[in-house]
């Protein structure tokens, strides 16, 4: 009995820890605005007057593989919530069949000593119609992540980070919310629902605001970047990651293109 | 006799429990109920059935069946303590109860710590030990065991060497089977079930052309299957040649060969079906049945030794012993 109480105590502490700890960004194809870059003794502020941007597009060099179909029969609520056949979002392309969505593009290296305020506005992920919305998104280290269950069925949200702490929380009631904060940068942290095995999502957790997620048009923009030389990475859940080096002058805008082959990533300027 | 029937009921429920547990892993449902001992904050027994959806059905069902088996194990121990004169049988029952309690705690810990392979593998390994203990109690309370298999050739004079050979072969086979199950559990809980994706070849050859830890453990399980199959066939052949008049050995030996053949087939199908959850789970259950069939065979080969030891006990020890090995309760 004492052991059982101790285990319940451990569970309680785990839940409390995870409630205090996670974070997110929207599924925008434009990077978040630097949130009032502030100077600190150990860092440098971004001068928006001289800042430029990196924009571009992510394409698929070949025919997009067919996305896996999803059978939701195991949960009648999920069947009821989805009137049309459901598919995974692994390869989401635009009407041209080339522009690739759900690619996380971010500045991987080159920001040096710049520091940024942590947003207080939470990033959000919703469990709706037995899918995660958004499927791929970015957020900041220390930013709260609001996790919502909009479904009239129960979900567990299970994050499987490597650098941050793993958590697994149940949300059995429609409308339940919780928040979590990631305390270390990590690209990417996968989410899964162990109840509904088809549900998966990915979040990139960064210490800066220079990230974006492509939509169906494959476009992205990393705005308000200070002059410098940067390594920009594009990450896709199946096709892997590829990087490019970009040198940006004052108020300069550079365009780059990432091209993935269905069998594996390649990068071209 | 009622005690024997009840212990058989426990064995049957344990088979169902092992199936339920293997379905949890096969469906990757181990964390679908993220809390323990509660279920989504509810008491396990009041968790609304309307919420037993998708993978929760497997995980929560496993918990409920495990609780039922735990209660049956408590009843068994109480019954043994009241009705069973042989102290060592009572203690085997008590050990089974301790094992199932420890098993429940391991199951909870593996959920709370996100299925660490070491804990999950220990959970699988202890499940087999608990199953063996329940089968042992059922065997020791059976009329055949108590009567000393008098109607078979067990009472016939036989060379001491032959009996020793049978005991060694059967014991070694049981140990090998359990070791093979532990390797299989390690493979399963480290996600190495398809590390070698083809069968019967391995990456198109007789041995893998490249290695990593997952391939190594998968390879070990396949080699283990070969070793265990040889051990089972050797034991069965020995029984056929040296003790074919002992039905209590011949029957489990034949069953063991049949189960081993089914088990190898299921293992192959598990790979070929890309780990179909039901095939994979039945493979786990069949493995447990191979183990316990071999255990029954082994214990029966040791029975005569146990009886002799009982008879050799000094009088003052016998007085403390409620009943010798084969005395009917």
Q: What is the pLDDT of residue B112?
A: 96
**Residue in chain B nearest A193 by alpha carbon:** B32
Q: What is the pLDDT of residue B22?
A: 98
With 90 as the cut, is the pLDDT of residue A60 above it? yes
Structure tokens at B190: 């480290």
Contact state of A11 with B36 under an 8 Å Cβ cutoff: yes
Between the CA of residue B65 and those of B44, B126, B276, what are the distances in Å?
11, 16, 23
* SS3 (DSSP) at B35: coil
Residues B99-118 have pLDDT tens digits of 999 999 999 999 999 999 99
Of B16, B84, B27, which Cα lies nearest the Cα of B53?
B27
Of B248, B240, B194, which Cα lies nearest the Cα of B217?
B194
With 60 as the cut, is the pLDDT of residue B302 above it? yes
Q: Does B98 touch chain A (CB under 8 A)?
A: no
- Please tell me which residue, B74 or A16, carries the higher pLDDT value: B74
Structure tokens at B95: 């050990």
Confidence band of B159 (pLDDT split at 50, 70, 90) = low
In whole angstroms, what is the distance from residue A71 CA to residue A65 CA?
19
Residues of A in contact with B30 (CB under 8 A): 194
Contact state of B36 with A7 under an 8 Å Cβ cutoff: yes
Instruction: Catalogue the E-assigned strands of A31-141.
Output: 52-60, 69-70, 86-87, 104-109, 123-128, 131-133, 136-140
Of A137, A120, A117, which Cα lies nearest the Cα of A208?
A117
Q: Distance (Å) from the C-alpha of residue B48 to the closest C-alpha of chain A? A: 11
Mean pLDDT, chain B, whole residue set: 92
Identify the burial level of A19 via C-beta atoms within 10 angstroms of its C-beta, where 0-12 means exposed, 13-18 middle and 19 or more buried: middle
Contact state of B54 with A3 under an 8 Å Cβ cutoff: no
The four Cα atoms B166, B168, B174, B177 give a dihedral, to 10 degrees, of -110
With 90 as the cut, is the pLDDT of residue A151 above it? yes
Judged by average pLDDT, the poorest of A29-38, A103-112, B153-162 is: A29-38
With 90 as the cut, is the pLDDT of residue A262 above it? no
Sign of the C-alpha dihedral computed for residues B291, B294, B299 and B305 taken in this order: negative
Contact state of B55 with A196 under an 8 Å Cβ cutoff: yes
Q: Specify whether the CB–CB gap between B73 and B97 falls below 8 A.
A: yes
With 70 as the cut, is the pLDDT of residue A152 above it? yes
In whole angstroms, what is the distance from residue A4 CA to residue A122 CA?
36
- Please tell me which residue, B321 or B135, carries the higher pLDDT value: B135
Instruction: Calculate the CA B154 to chain-centre distance.
Output: 26
Q: For the complex shown, is ipTM > 0.95?
A: no
> Across the A/B interface, how many CB contacts are shorter than 8 Å?
68
Q: What is the pLDDT of residue B43?
A: 96
Q: What is the pLDDT of residue B130?
A: 98
With 90 as the cut, is the pLDDT of residue B152 above it? no
Q: What is the pLDDT of residue B200?
A: 95
Residues A117-144 have pLDDT tens digits of 999 999 999 999 999 999 999 999 999 9
Mean pLDDT, chain A, whole residue set: 86
Q: What is the pLDDT of residue A89?
A: 94
Rg of chain B over CA atoms, in angstroms? Answer: 21
Q: What is the pLDDT of residue B161?
A: 64
* SS3 (DSSP) at B39: strand
With 80 as the cut, is the pLDDT of residue A263 above it? no
Structure tokens at B20: 């339920």
**Residue in chain A nearest B39 by alpha carbon:** A170
* SS3 (DSSP) at B162: helix
Q: Distance (Å) from the C-alpha of residue A62 to the closest C-alpha of chain B? A: 27
Q: What is the pLDDT of residue A265?
A: 52
Residues of B in contact with A14 (CB under 8 A): 112
Q: What is the pLDDT of residue B309?
A: 61
Residue A185 has what DSSP assignment? -
In whole angstroms, what is the distance from residue A164 CA to residue A113 CA?
23
With 80 as the cut, is the pLDDT of residue A168 above it? yes
With 60 as the cut, is the pLDDT of residue A268 above it? no
Q: Specify whether the CB–CB gap between A205 and A185 falls below 8 A.
A: yes
Residue B71 has what DSSP assignment? H
Q: What is the pLDDT of residue B1?
A: 84
How many Cβ atoms are within 10 Å of A199's Cβ, its own excluded? 22
Q: Does B115 touch chain A (CB under 8 A)?
A: no
Residues B128-139 have pLDDT tens digits of 999 999 999 999
Close Cβ partners of A56 (under 8 Å, ≥ 6 residues apart): A105, A219, A220, A221, A255, A256, A257, A258
Confidence band of A12 (pLDDT split at 50, 70, 90) = very low
Contact state of B37 with A15 under an 8 Å Cβ cutoff: no
Q: What is the pLDDT of residue B311?
A: 60
Contact state of A74 with B34 under an 8 Å Cβ cutoff: no
With 90 as the cut, is the pLDDT of residue A27 above it? no
Residues B10-36 have pLDDT tens digits of 999 999 999 999 999 999 999 999 999
Q: What is the pLDDT of residue A15?
A: 37
Close Cβ partners of B263 (under 8 Å, ≥ 6 residues apart): B225, B283, B286, B287, B290
Q: Distance (Å) from the C-alpha of residue B69 to the closest C-alpha of chain A? A: 19
Q: Specify whether the CB–CB gap between B193 and B272 falls below 8 A.
A: no
Q: What is the pLDDT of residue A41?
A: 45
In whole angstroms, what is the distance from residue B10 CA to residue B186 CA?
27
Q: Specify whether the CB–CB gap between A148 and A134 falls below 8 A.
A: no
In whole angstroms, what is the distance from residue B267 CA to residue A133 CA?
39
- Report the pLDDT averaged over residues B241-259: 94
Q: What is the pLDDT of residue A157?
A: 97
With 80 as the cut, is the pLDDT of residue B212 above it? yes
- DSSP assignment of B249-272, as one string? HHHHHHHHHHHHHHHHHHHHHHHH
Q: What is the pLDDT of residue B156?
A: 62
A131-133: strand order across its sheet? A131-133, A123-128, A144-149, A177-181
Of B53, B58, B54, which Cα lies nearest the Cα of B26?
B58
Of A99, A117, A69, which Cα lies nearest the Cα of A216?
A99
Q: Specify whether the CB–CB gap between A107 and A222 falls below 8 A.
A: yes
In whole angstroms, what is the distance from residue B271 CA to residue B283 CA?
11
Q: What is the pLDDT of residue B314?
A: 46
Judged by average pLDDT, the poorest of A112-121, B7-16, B175-184 is: A112-121
| Share of residues in chain B with pLDDT > 70 (%) | 89
With 70 as the cut, is the pLDDT of residue B320 above it? no
**Candidate from B27, B40, B108 with C-beta closest to A7:** B108
**Residue in chain A nearest B58 by alpha carbon:** A195
């Amino acid at each position: 009995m004492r052991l059982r109480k101790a285990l319940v105590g451990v569970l309680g502490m785990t839940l409390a820890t995870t409630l205090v700890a996670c974070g997110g960004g929207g599924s925008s194809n434009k990077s978040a605005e630097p949130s009032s870059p502030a100077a600190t003794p150990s860092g440098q502020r971004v001068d928006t007057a001289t800042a430029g941007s990196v924009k571009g597009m992510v394409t698929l060099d070949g025919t997009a593989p067919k996305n896996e179909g999803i059978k939701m029969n195991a949960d009648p609520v999920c069947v009821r919530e989805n009137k049309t056949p459901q598919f995974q979002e692994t390869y989401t392309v635009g009407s041209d069949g080339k522009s690739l969505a759900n690619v996380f593009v971010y500045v991987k290296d080159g920001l040096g000593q710049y520091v940024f305020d942590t947003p207080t506005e939470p990033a959000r992920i919703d469990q709706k119609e037995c899918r995660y919305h958004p499927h791929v998104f970015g957020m900041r280290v220390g930013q709260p992540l609001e996790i919502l269950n909009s479904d009239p069925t129960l979900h567990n949200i299970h994050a499987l980070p490597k650098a941050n702490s793993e958590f697994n929380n149940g949300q059995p009631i429609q409308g339940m919310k919780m928040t979590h904060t990631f305390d270390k940068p990590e690209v990417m942290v996968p989410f899964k629902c162990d109840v509904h095995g088809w549900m998966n999502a990915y979040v990139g957790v960064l210490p800066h605001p220079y990230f974006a997620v492509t939509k169906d048009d494959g476009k992205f923009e990393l705005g308000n970047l200070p002059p410098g030389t940067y390594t920009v990475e594009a990450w896709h859940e199946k096709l892997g990651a590829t990087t490019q080096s970009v040198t940006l002058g004052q108020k300069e805008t550079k365009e780059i293109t990432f091209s993935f082959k269905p069998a594996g990533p390649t990068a071209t300027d | 006799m009622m005690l024997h029937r009840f212990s058989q009921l426990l064995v049957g429920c344990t088979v169902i429990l092992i199936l339920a547990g293997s379905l949890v892993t096969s469906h990757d449902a181990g964390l679908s109920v993220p809390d323990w001992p509660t279920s989504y904050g509810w008491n396990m027994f009041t968790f609304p059935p309307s919420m037993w959806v998708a993978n929760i059905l497997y995980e929560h069902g496993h918990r409920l069946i495990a609780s039922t088996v735990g209660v049956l194990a408590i009843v068994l121990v109480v019954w043994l303590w009241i009705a069973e004169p042989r102290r060592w049988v009572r203690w085997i029952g008590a050990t089974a109860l301790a094992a199932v309690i420890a098993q429940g705690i391991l199951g909870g810990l593996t959920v709370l710590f996100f299925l660490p392979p070491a804990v999950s593998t220990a959970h699988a390994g202890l499940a087999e030990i608990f199953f063996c203990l329940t089968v042992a109690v059922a065997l020791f309370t059976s009329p055949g065991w108590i009567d000393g298999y008098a109607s078979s050739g067990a009472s016939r004079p036989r060379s001491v060497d032959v009996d020793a050979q049978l005991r060694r072969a059967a014991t070694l086979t049981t140990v090998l089977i359990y070791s093979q199950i532990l390797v299989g559990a390690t493979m399963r809980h480290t996600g190495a079930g398809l590390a070698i994706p083809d069968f019967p070849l391995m990456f198109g050859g007789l041995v893998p052309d490249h290695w990593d830890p997952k391939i190594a453990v998968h390879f070990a399980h396949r080699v283990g299957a070969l070793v265990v199959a040889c051990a089972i066939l050797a034991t069965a052949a020995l029984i056929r040649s040296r003790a074919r008049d002992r039905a209590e050995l011949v029957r489990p030996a034949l069953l063991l060969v049949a189960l081993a053949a089914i088990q190898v087939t299921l293992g192959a199908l598990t790979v070929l079906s890309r780990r179909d959850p039901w095939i994979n789970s039945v493979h786990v259950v069949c493995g447990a049945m191979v183990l316990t069939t071999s255990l029954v065979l082994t214990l029966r080969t040791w029975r005569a030794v146990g009886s002799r030891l009982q008879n050799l006990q000094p009088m003052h020890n016998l007085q403390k012993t409620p009943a010798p090995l084969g005395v009917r309760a």
